[in-house]
């Protein structure tokens, strides 16, 4: 039975999924939650609380302990010796800094001790900045200025210089801790760090996760000399090589063979970022499929054949593990805004759905809301409260239903307007995340985007995507596996309603947005 392991080292947990590529079964899936299972790291949500000036760091040793705990804890449910290949993903943008002993310490790993114990002294920086860090605005400005401006950084790397992206984080480290920076021999992403440990040697970065660094030339998939130069001294030597996600890099380290019973021939493949892996695990890696993930922030991502970039600089372009590219656009006012309005109106989630569906028409009788309860990143603007345009009753918030529909329509019209640059027609939307089972919300998404909406059974799409890539590395057809594994759940497929026409609402929204941002 050829079995494949997908790992996902995310912000709050590390997850594993084992699949059988012949019977198309998920054999087992399990997670270790950092806060819950490793309380000694005092990181209840996976990062070290209390960072100042927007700093958010995590302890890489916690990720190593979690990996040991996960593999150990699954031994009874799964025979590790059957795993043919392993691939994985990591929270994007986070970076791990290692000294020149890293490779020799990896080579010397003994199964009698833990990974964290043995690799602790290889860290040249105790903590790793992660994607939630927003402390590098100054470094972003400096990088953009040195590299020829925001538009040039975006043209080369797929994104303007962004605080959470790795380049500005590296620059800040080099500026604030120059001695530790010069002691740093290797800089890894979360994905390539975990992959390196499994393979027992420095692993490559793929062009999905690599594009989240503001250092890679998107069109060639190579490190860009002008961006490296603009970021930090002597950087090229410290960066991993670039490779395709899912490419086999060698057998698993004997540590895992002796400790957990992996086969010495089990292959480790180049990891990718959690979003590129999710694109694969959602079955959305071909253009025309769009994933909308409704979370604390809402995220939109979709496959694209060409590396077009967002002329407004809000969206990002990454490599797609199955070939071509993918877009990713984040919206800060997601669940945060939905919850704020729900609480303001004193509604339950059920009311939220009923109100939107039954008592108000698509287009909301011309009542429009810019749904921003605070600072937004797409579009980038310091909003302080929602902006309403419409009838006197609407402005006076007389009918809760109108308010709910205005907020939801506003969120998805904003998403539509800021993803048009991708230039690929939307054939199918895969809706995921907390609010995705809400049929009222799904209907609005279908209507605004004029495309059918489906929901998937797998919650763990990044680990599944990684497992599919591992199978692909062994000769399986990833596309056929996607058809078998990426099944829609028991919620109905929602078709766009024929009566809905959002052109007037979209124009009104755009007008209100232009006015607020001018």
Of residues 152-191, which lie at the interface with ligand XUL (CB under 6 A)?
A: 164
The span of 29-37, 89-97, 108-116, 230-238 binding ligand XUL (CB under 6 A) equals: 89-97
- Shortest reach from residue 108's CB to ligand XUL, in Å: 32
Q: Which lies closer to ligand XUL via its Cβ, residue 273 or residue 496?
A: 273
Q: Which value, in Å, is the radius of gyration of the alpha carbons in the chain?
A: 23
- Shortest reach from residue 461's CB to ligand XUL, in Å: 12
Two tokens, residue 265: 């021939």
The span of 54-62, 241-249, 268-276, 449-457 binding ligand XUL (CB under 6 A) equals: 268-276
332 binds ligand XUL (CB under 6 A): no
The span of 214-222, 239-247, 267-275, 413-421 binding ligand XUL (CB under 6 A) equals: 267-275
Strand pairing of 222-223 and 216-217?
antiparallel
Q: Which lies closer to ligand XUL via its Cβ, residue 133 or residue 447?
A: 133
Q: Which of 8, 133, 224, 274 binds ligand XUL (CB under 6 A)?
A: 274
Cα separation values, 324 from 221, 251, 286, 339, Å: 11, 28, 9, 36
Count interface residues toward ligand XUL (CB under 6 A).
Answer: 12
Cα separation values, 411 from 368, 455, 459, Å: 11, 19, 23
293 binds ligand XUL (CB under 6 A): no
Sign of CA dihedral 481, 486, 490, 496: negative
Q: Rounded to whole angstroms, how far apart are CA atoms 449 and 458?
A: 23
What are 36's strand-pairing partners? none
Q: Do residues 96 and 119 lie in contact, with contact meaning Cβ atoms separated by under 8 Å?
A: no
Name the maximum alpha-carbon separation found in the chain. Answer: 73
On the question of a cis peptide bond just before residue 379, with omega within 30 degrees of 0, the verdict is: yes
Q: Which of 202, 214, 267, 275 binds ligand XUL (CB under 6 A)?
A: 275
- Shortest reach from residue 385's CB to ligand XUL, in Å: 26
Cα separation values, 137 from 134, 158, 164, 177, 226, Å: 7, 18, 9, 17, 19
The span of 148-156, 247-255, 270-278, 307-315 binding ligand XUL (CB under 6 A) equals: 270-278
DSSP output for 414-454: HHHHTTGGG-----EEEEEEGGGG-HHHHHHHHHHHTS-EE
Mapping DSSP to helix (H, G, I), strand (E, B) and coil, where does residue 250 land?
A: strand
Two tokens, residue 277: 């892996």
Q: Which lies closer to ligand XUL via its Cβ, residue 93 or residue 172?
A: 93
Q: Which of 71, 257, 328, 401 binds ligand XUL (CB under 6 A)?
A: 328
Cα separation values, 219 from 194, 216, 406, Å: 26, 9, 40
272 binds ligand XUL (CB under 6 A): no
Which positions ≥6 away from 229 have C-beta within 8 Å? 146, 147
Two tokens, residue 14: 């590390």
91 binds ligand XUL (CB under 6 A): yes
Site string for ligand XUL, 188-227 (x = CB under 6 A): ------------------------x---------------
Q: Which lies closer to ligand XUL via its Cβ, residue 13 or residue 267?
A: 13
- Shortest reach from residue 164's CB to ligand XUL, in Å: 5
- Shortest reach from residue 85's CB to ligand XUL, in Å: 23
Q: Which of 59, 92, 333, 460 binds ligand XUL (CB under 6 A)?
A: 92
Q: Which of 57, 93, 253, 388 binds ligand XUL (CB under 6 A)?
A: 93
Q: Rounded to whole angstroms, how far apart are CA atoms 258 and 92?
A: 31
Q: Do residues 502 and 448 lie in contact, with contact meaning Cβ atoms separated by under 8 Å?
A: yes
Q: Rounded to whole angstroms, how far apart are CA atoms 409 and 509?
A: 10
- Sequence length of the chain is 518
- Shortest reach from residue 11's CB to ligand XUL, in Å: 6
DSSP percent split of the chain into helix, strand, coil, nearest 5: 40, 20, 40
Q: Which lies closer to ligand XUL via its Cβ, residue 37 or residue 164?
A: 164
- Shortest reach from residue 430's CB to ligand XUL, in Å: 16
Of all residues in this chain, which one has the CB nearest to ligand XUL in the complex?
Answer: 92
- Shortest reach from residue 469's CB to ligand XUL, in Å: 17
- Shortest reach from residue 253's CB to ligand XUL, in Å: 26
The span of 53-61, 273-281, 355-363, 401-409 binding ligand XUL (CB under 6 A) equals: 273-281
15 binds ligand XUL (CB under 6 A): no
Q: Which lies closer to ligand XUL via its Cβ, residue 162 or residue 187?
A: 162
Sign of CA dihedral 317, 320, 326, 329: negative
Q: Which lies closer to ligand XUL via its Cβ, residue 11 or residue 124?
A: 11
Q: Do residues 376 and 331 lie in contact, with contact meaning Cβ atoms separated by under 8 Å?
A: yes
Q: Which lies closer to ligand XUL via its Cβ, residue 86 or residue 328?
A: 328
**Around 107, how many Cα atoms within 13 Å sit in the side-chain half-sphere?**
6
Residues that bind ligand XUL (CB under 6 A): 10-11, 91-93, 131, 164, 212, 273-275, 328
């Amino acid at each position: 039975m050829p079995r494949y392991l997908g790992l996902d080292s995310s912000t709050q947990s590390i997850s594993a999924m084992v699949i059988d590529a012949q019977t198309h079964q998920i054999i087992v899936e399990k997670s270790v939650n950092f806060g819950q299972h490793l309380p000694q790291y005092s990181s209840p949500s996976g990062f070290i609380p209390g960072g100042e000036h927007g700093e958010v760091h995590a302890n890489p040793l916690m990720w190593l302990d979690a990996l040991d705990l996960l593999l150990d804890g699954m031994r009874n449910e799964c025979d590790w010796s059957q795993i043919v290949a392993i691939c994985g993903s990591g929270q994007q943008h986070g970076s791990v800094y290692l000294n020149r002993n890293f490779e020799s310490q990896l080579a010397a790993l003994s199964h009698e001790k833990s990974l964290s114990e043995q690799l602790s002294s290889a860290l040249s920086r105790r903590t790793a900045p992660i994607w939630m860090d927003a402390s590098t605005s100054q470094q972003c400005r400096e990088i953009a200025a040195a590299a020829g401006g925001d538009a040039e950084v975006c043209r080369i790397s797929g994104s303007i210089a962004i605080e959470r992206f790795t380049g500005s984080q590296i620059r800040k480290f080099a500026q604030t801790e120059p001695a530790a920076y010069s002691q740093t021999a290797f800089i890894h992403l979360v994905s390539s760090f975990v992959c390196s440990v499994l393979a027992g040697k420095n692993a490559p970065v793929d062009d999905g996760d690599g594009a989240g660094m503001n250092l890679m030339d998107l069109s060639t998939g190579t490190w860009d000399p002008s961006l490296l130069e603009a970021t930090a001294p002597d950087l090229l030597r410290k960066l991993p090589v670039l490779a395709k996600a899912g490419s086999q890099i060698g057998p698993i380290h004997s540590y895992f063979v002796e400790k957990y019973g992996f086969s010495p021939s089990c292959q480790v493949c180049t990891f990718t970022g959690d979003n590129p892996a999710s694109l694969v695990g959602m079955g959305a890696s071909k253009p025309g499929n769009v994933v909308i993930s409704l979370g604390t922030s809402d995220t939109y991502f979709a496959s694209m054949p060409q590396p077009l970039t967002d002329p407004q600089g809000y969206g990002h372009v990454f490599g797609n593990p199955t070939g071509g590219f993918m877009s990713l656009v984040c919206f800060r006012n997601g669940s945060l805004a939905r919850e704020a309005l729900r609480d303001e109106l004193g509604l339950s989630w059920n009311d939220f759905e009923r109100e939107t569906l039954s008592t108000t028409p698509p287009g909301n009788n011309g009542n429009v809301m810019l749904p921003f309860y605070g600072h937004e990143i797409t579009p980038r603007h310091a909003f302080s409260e929602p902006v309403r345009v419409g009838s006197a009753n609407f402005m006076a918030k007389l009918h809760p239903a109108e308010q709910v529909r205005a907020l939801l329509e506003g969120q998805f019209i904003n998403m539509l307007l800021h993803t048009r640059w991708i230039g690929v027609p939307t054939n199918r939307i895969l809706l995921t995340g907390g609010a995705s089972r809400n049929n009222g919300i799904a209907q609005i998404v279908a209507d605004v985007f004029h495309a059918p909406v489906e929901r998937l059974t797998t919650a763990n799409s990044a680990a599944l995507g990684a497992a599919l890539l591992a199978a692909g590395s062994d000769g399986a057809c990833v596309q056929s596996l996607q058809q078998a594994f990426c099944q829609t759940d028991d919620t109905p497929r929602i078709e766009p309603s024929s009566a809905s026409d959002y052109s007037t609402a979209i124009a009104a929204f755009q007008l209100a947005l232009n006015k607020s941002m001018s």
